[in-house]
Amino acid sequence: MIAVDLARLKGRPMTDYTFPFWQAAILLTVIGLVLGLDPSLGVPLPFAFLIGIVVYWVWFWVCLRIMRWWLVRGNRWDGQGWLDKVIIASWGIDMLLPLLAFAGVPGLLLLPLWLYTLWVMANAISDATDVTLGYSIAGILIATVVFVVGLALLTMAVAIGLVFTGILPGGAA
């Protein structure tokens, strides 16, 4: 299984990612469902599952677009191959994070595992596209910052909208 090899940091060439996209889509959706188990979301379970699925699919889309732009720029990668499947397969290990959070493991103890998941992704992209590991890490960091800032702005806009419509209490105290 490709995800297990990637978690062991075993490099795979781009030609190994020829499986149907629906398999990758199922893995991405399952990871989103598992994210919904995170008790820190503080919402009912069906809504948490929906949040997890939407967040992971949006994160995938943002990451794919930025990584494709980042890797093709400067002719470091020819743009051929299935970068979307490389990214999703490298996220297989991400299921451990919400499962451990659900089991009650403190967030500070999950930080090394989260850093390892970034390393797995960078290593998979580096091996599949023949760019350097450092270049892959830089692209992932750019994508992460863009996603986090975008998510924060969206969250603030929704919260402000809910306060102005009167759904949430708020205003000057």
Q: pLDDT tens digit string along 109-149?
A: 999 998 999 999 999 999 999 999 999 999 999 999 999 99
73: left (phi over 0), alpha (psi -120 to 50) or beta: beta
Q: What percent of the chain has pLDDT over 70?
A: 97
Helix (H) or strand (E) holding 43: none
Which residue matches tokens 């759904």?
167
The answer to whether residue 95 scores a pLDDT higher than 60 is: yes
Could you give the CA distance from residue 30 to residue 12 in angstroms, rounded to a whole number?
A: 23
Residues 129, 81 contacting (CB under 8 angstroms): yes
Instruction: Give me the sign of the Cα torsion angle 94, 96, 98, 101.
Output: negative
In angstroms, the Cα distances linking 148 to 63, 124, 128 are: 11, 22, 26
Mean pLDDT of 40-59: 85
The answer to whether residue 171 scores a pLDDT higher than 60 is: no
- Mean pLDDT over each residue of the chain, to the nearest integer: 87
CA angle (25 as vertex; 22, 28 as ends), nearest 5: 155
The answer to whether residue 173 scores a pLDDT higher than 50 is: no
